[in-house]
Chains A and B, each alone.
Chain A
Amino acid sequence: MTYFRKRIDMKIAICLRRVPDTTAKIVIGPSGVAIDEAGVKFVPNPYDEYALEAGLALVGAAGAGETVVVGFAGDSVQETLRTALAMGVDRAVHLQGTPTADGLANARVLADHLRDGGYDLILFGKLAVDDYGQQTGVMVAELLGLPCATAISSLSVDGGVATVTREVEGGVENATCALPAVLTCDKGLNTPRLPSLKGIMAAKKKPLDIVPVTVGESRVTVVSLAMPPERAAGRMLGEGAAAVPALITALTTEAKVL
């Protein structure tokens, strides 16, 4: 692997996914294994926005460097990549292809592209709010032999070392790793900037390279996608504090949770 560190500036890749807006209603498509995309608004994956902000802030603080946003997906991701460019990312790479349901096969595509990029940091969102796979970033790190911290909620970089915290059950785990490294970003890390009008205009002139890629064999088959079971209709117990005794009775004798 070639990670020359002659520069003192930062070079950061951010991997981006395009997902349905979290407020979108999900309808199963006719295939029975994917959603019906008709009428669904798509947005940059919310967790990826924390990664974008972290990358932009670090390069901004370093005073020099480059941010590159990378999206492995069909052509529709180009709109999402342009959003990242409008936020201030320097250039975009569209790895044009069709990701599979096998996170490892997808991670290999990303790792092959990122391997010789000379990146100090490769950032991901901690998960994509569509498939909840939560694995691609970690797998890219393993494939590249790089340190990896996941779901980080704070980050500082100093002297080639990243210091992070991540939320675990009952506390906050503290860790460090040397750069180059892969980090996946959680809510709480920062407040992502919004694209400015100037940024949107500038984004149109920024480079967006299209690199056709081939994904390897998938060892994961989607058998079905279904709606969760509906909850049975509930019961209104009344109004105000007067309804509290009825609730206590219901929780004690009916639901048996008290």
Chain B
Amino acid sequence: MANILCVLEQRGGTLRKGSAELLTAARQLADQGGGTVDALVCAAGDVAGLDTLGAAGADRVLTATHAGFAHYAPEGIVATVHSIAAGYGAVLVSATATGKDLAPRLAAALGAPCGMDVTAVSASGDAIRVVRPVYAGKAIQTLDLSGVAVVAVRPSAYTAVAAGKAGAMEAVTVPAFTQRLNVSGISTPEKATLDVAEARVVVAGGRGLGDPQHFGLLEELAAAFGGEAAVGASRAVVDAGWIEHGAQVGQTGKTVAPDLYFAIGVSGAIQHLAGMRTARTIVAINRDKDAPIFKVADFGIVGDLFEVVPALTAAVKAAKGQ
């Protein structure tokens, strides 16, 4: 197995969550064949935490500095990777919104196959073997990618393991590139909310809420988790316009794998289950004891959510000492 290049993501000089997990995936892959791991960081200036990347698994930390990297500049990252690609057997990125955009661009530029949104990556002879959910998690596909491969690794799929080395720092030159997509920045909502795909706890609501304003109950439960929880939703209520589509969990929404998932007034349609079945612990609260959601839930409560949820919110607050 050849050497691995990880293209890490940064925003405003801060490495994105998931960088250490990606390096862990790369380290395990490289160690199968005695290869090395390089981490590439493209940024407009200094990036905090580069000195931690060695401990996270990088043998070398390559920094590519260019004014054009103040915002996401895919053409510049592709040109940089292309210029240093010789000698790498695989290029790994995190399967974030940006990583999913970048991976196919890298694959096309390198003439390489692309494994998208994978939950495991390993060496299989001369090939890179990836495991990935398809049909929104209703089935699991295993692929062998031959030649140099570009792989986008799902951020939640690996737990960071400290490798205990110090990574050598090295600057790389950013080749001239033509910017075709001009990103002007990221607008953040006034009320900062955690993304449902990134939250440790997801509080999801469905049609059983009866009215869009009742999402307030779920927001209160989420708040009881002190910034660790996001509010999610079923397709039915997103399609009804009760909540914005970014909150949708399921086959035409997001696939999530939080530690704790509350399905509240969610019946458990097959396409919803597909998006949340890999959550570590699932709690279902529903008036209908025969709702399909109870078949995947670890813990179920049959009852009126308007009675159960406020009691649960109070109990979570008490348990957390608030």
What are 22 A-to-B residue pairs whose CB atoms are below 8 Å?
A22-B270, A25-B270, A129-B251, A130-B134, A170-B194, A170-B195, A171-B186, A171-B189, A172-B188, A176-B182, A177-B182, A178-B180, A187-B252, A187-B253, A227-B140, A236-B301, A239-B301, A240-B308, A243-B308, A248-B319, A251-B299, A258-B260
Partner-contacting stretch, out of B24-32, B109-117, B209-217: B109-117
Q: Given A104-B111, A240-B301, A244-B311 in contact, is the A138-B104 Cβ separation under 8 Å?
A: yes
The interface residues of chain A lying within 8 Å CB-to-CB of B248 are 187
Q: Given A131-B141, A225-B134, A243-B308 in contact, is the A151-B101 Cβ separation under 8 Å?
A: yes
B222-275 contacts to A (CB < 8 Å) = 238, 244-246, 248, 250-253, 259-260, 269-271
The interface of chain B, by Cβ under 8 A from chain A, is 16, 72, 74, 78, 96-98, 100-101, 103-105, 107-109, 111-114, 116-117, 127, 129, 132-147, 180-189, 192, 194-195, 197-198, 201, 238, 244-246, 248, 250-253, 259-260, 269-271, 277-278, 280-284, 289, 294-304, 307-308, 310-312, 315-316, 319-320
Q: Given A139-B107, A244-B308 in contact, is the A252-B134 Cβ separation under 8 Å?
A: no
Partner of B302, one of A103, A239, A244, A257: A239
The interface residues of chain A lying within 8 Å CB-to-CB of B188 are 170-172
CB-based contact A248/B134 at 8 Å: no
A interface bracket (residues with beta carbon within 8 Å of B): 35 or more
CB-based contact A129/B320 at 8 Å: no
Q: Given A167-B246, A169-B96 in contact, is the A235-B300 Cβ separation under 8 Å?
A: yes
CB-based contact A247/B141 at 8 Å: no
The interface residues of chain A lying within 8 Å CB-to-CB of B301 are 236-240, 243-244, 247
Partner of B100, one of A129, A150, A257: A150
Q: Given A234-B296, A236-B294, A244-B315 in contact, is the A172-B283 Cβ separation under 8 Å?
A: no
CB-based contact A257/B142 at 8 Å: no
- Residue of A178, A225, A238 most packed against chain B (CB within 10 A): A225
Partner of A46, one of B132, B147, B252, B298: B252
Whether, in the assembled complex, A241 has its beta carbon less than 8 Å from a beta carbon of chain B, the answer is: yes
CB-based contact A237/B180 at 8 Å: no
Task: Give chain B nearest CB distance to A245 CB in angstroms.
Answer: 7
The interface residues of chain A lying within 8 Å CB-to-CB of B146 are 219-221
Q: How far is the CA of A131 from the CA of B259 in the complex (A)?
A: 26
Q: How far is the CA of A178 from the CA of B179 in the complex (A)?
A: 11
The majority secondary structure among interface residues of chain A is: mixed
Q: How far is the CA of A187 from the CA of B192 in the complex (A)?
A: 21
Q: Given A228-B138, A237-B301, A244-B308 in contact, is the A135-B116 Cβ separation under 8 Å?
A: yes
Task: Give chain B nearest CB distance to A226 CB in angstroms.
Answer: 5
Q: How far is the CA of A222 from the CA of B145 in the complex (A)?
A: 9
Q: How far is the CA of A130 from the CA of B188 in the complex (A)?
A: 31
Q: Given A132-B134, A173-B72 in contact, is the A241-B183 Cβ separation under 8 Å?
A: no
Partner of A103, one of B113, B194, B260: B113
CB-based contact B195/A241 at 8 Å: no
CB-based contact A223/B143 at 8 Å: yes
The interface residues of chain B lying within 8 Å CB-to-CB of A75 are none
Whether, in the assembled complex, A83 has its beta carbon less than 8 Å from a beta carbon of chain B, the answer is: no
20 additional contacts (CB under 8 A) given A22-B252, A133-B116, A231-B277: A103-B114, A104-B114, A131-B141, A132-B132, A135-B104, A148-B74, A150-B100, A169-B96, A170-B194, A173-B186, A174-B183, A181-B180, A187-B252, A228-B139, A236-B302, A237-B300, A240-B307, A241-B310, A255-B260, A257-B259
Q: How far is the CA of A120 from the CA of B302 in the complex (A)?
A: 55
The interface residues of chain B lying within 8 Å CB-to-CB of A236 are 289, 294, 300-302
